[in-house]
Amino acid sequence: MLAFALTLLLLLGIVIVLAYAERKVAAFMQDRMGPTEAGPYGSLQSVLDVVKLLQKEDIVPAAADKKLFKLAPILIFAAVFAGFAVIPFTPDLIPAGIGIGVFYLLAIISLDVVGLLMAGWGSNNKYAMLGAMRSVAQIVSYEIPAGLAILSVVMVCQSLDFQEISYQQGILLNRFPGLEFETNWLFGIEALGINTTNIGGITTWNIFRAPILLVAFVIYFIASLAESNRAPFDIPEAESELVAGFHVEYSGFRFAILFLAEYSMMVLVSLVAVILFLGSWNTPLPNLTALKFANWTTGTVGELSGILWGGFWLLSKTFVLLFLQLQIRWTYPRLRVDQLMHLCWKVLTPIALGIVLLAGIWRLLMV
């Protein structure tokens, strides 16, 4: 229960910051000021938006399927929030450290799809229905390149446990039960003869341990944009043609839940990208001879310093990725449906299949 409450609080905090950042980043990229009135530099704007949404009347359309309409936001948010259960926040802080966390995450996200269909159908509105259909088609298609990119990480790490994958990517490698005698080599190749187990930092991140995963990371990032319905893959929302997509009929508290679920999805996919590819809660600074940057910025596991450093690195890396998502939104125009499917099936999926094969070969080099 404590993990539940803490994760929810953390998530709410991140989402409020993110909603503010979205408006400010958008404004600066378009040479505007963005919100300025509420609080210093408009920083209370998103808090006030939430308060406003909570005060609004809860409208259920007369022609809607009321049961489905009311249930859908809960299901969507529950599915996304359940994904956070397996995310390791620090070396010794993980809500549920199950051994097949990666697989569980992929499966639980697909629950989200059912909720979207429920919302689209329950609204009894053609825009909502079209938006839900597009959204589901997009999420189901882009799960494949994302899943293959994740699979290549799993093949290199030989584990489905997020915490084990995290430990493998830093100087704490030998602290994980079962990995006491493992060593990290530069680029994962022992023949190069450079032992990076105690150097740590960026040299032991997955994108460095097996550089082929850098390509997998790009594929995963593109696919994750589509899975969270972000621009340039936001045809499910497409304000100019579908009004607002599947949540067009929602207002007040229910809209707040859907909004929260959407931003939580962004946070979740970024967290997963950071954990699988960018070293999780490990520091990016390597130990260089006498300058033990990695040791200094890791803290002691089990103590407050370890928790604070781990959380700091994980969240700061996540925020970098989230900023990239915001920036991409205001850089690229929306893709057409056929371009979207072309990108997924004819570009990303074949490359991802090749990456899986290469990752398997790389793993053989690493042994």
Give the x-and-dash track for 192-231 against another protein (CB under 8 A): ----------------------------------------
Minimum CB distance to another protein smaller for 143 or for 237: 143
Nearest approach, Cβ of 145 to another protein (angstroms)? 15
DSSP-based three-state secondary structure for 79 = helix
Q: If binding is defined by CB under 8 A, does position 337 make contact with another protein?
A: no
Q: Nearest distance from residue 338's CB to another protein, in Å?
A: 14
Q: Which residue, 15 or 248, has its beta carbon nearer to another protein?
A: 248
Residue 140 CB, nearest approach to another protein (Å):
7
Please choose, out of 103-111, 187-195, 285-293, 328-336, the segment that lies near another protein by the rule CB under 8 A. 103-111
Is residue 99 a contact point for another protein (CB under 8 A)? Answer: yes
What's the rounded Cα separation, in Å, for the pair 145 and 344?
Answer: 7
Range in contact with another protein (rule: CB under 8 A) among 129-137, 179-187, 244-252, 289-297: 129-137
252, amino acid identity: G
**Is there a contact between 205 and 277 (Cβ–Cβ < 8 Å)?**
yes
Map 182-249 to HEC letters.
CCCEHHHCHHHCCECCCCCHHHHCHHHHCCHHHHHHHHHHHHHHHHCCCCCCCCCCCHHHHCCHHHCC
Each residue 48-87 as x (binds another protein by CB under 8 A) or -, in order, gives -----------------x--x-------------------
Task: CB nearer to another protein: give 81 or 185.
Answer: 81
* 108 lines the binding site for another protein (CB under 8 A): yes
- Beta strand residue intervals within the chain, DSSP E: 287-288, 291-292
Q: For residue 113, what are its two tokens? A: 């799809």
| Contacts by 183-190, CB closer than 8 A, 24 or more apart | 184/209, 185/366, 187/211, 188/156, 188/362, 188/365, 188/366, 189/365, 189/366, 190/366
Should residue 161 be labelled a site residue for another protein when binding is judged by CB under 8 A? yes
State the nearest-atom distance from the C-beta of 161 to another protein, in Å. Answer: 7
* Alpha-carbon span 226 to 140, nearest angstrom: 10
Residue 96 as a binder of another protein (CB under 8 A): the answer is no
Nearer to another protein by Cβ, of 121 and 281: the residue is 121
Residue 125 near residue 185 (C-beta atoms within 8 A): no
Query: Do 174 and 197 form a contact (C-beta atoms < 8 A)?
Result: yes
**Rounded Cα–Cα distance for residues 109 and 107 (Å):** 5
User: Are the C-beta atoms of residues 261 and 77 closer than 8 Å to each other?
Assistant: yes
In this chain, which of 26, 111, 244, 353 binds another protein, going by CB under 8 A? Answer: 111
| Size, binding site for another protein by CB under 8 A | 24
Q: Is 185 in the site for another protein (CB under 8 A)?
A: no
The smaller minimum CB distance to another protein, of residues 110 and 183, is found at: 110
> Is residue 245 a contact partner of residue 239, using CB atoms and an 8 Å limit?
no
Among 103, 253, 293, 323, binds another protein (CB under 8 A): 103
Q: How far is the CB of 71 from another protein (least distance, A)?
A: 8
Closest approach of Cβ 158 to another protein, in Å? 10
Cβ proximity of 21 and 326 under 8 Å:
yes
CB of 303 to another protein, least distance (A): 25
* Site for another protein contains 100 (CB under 8 A): yes
Residues 170, 298 contacting (CB under 8 angstroms) = yes
Diameter of the chain measured on Cα atoms: 71
Residues lying near another protein in the complex (CB under 8 A): 65, 68, 98-100, 103-104, 106-108, 110-111, 113-114, 117-118, 121, 129, 133, 136, 140, 143, 160-161
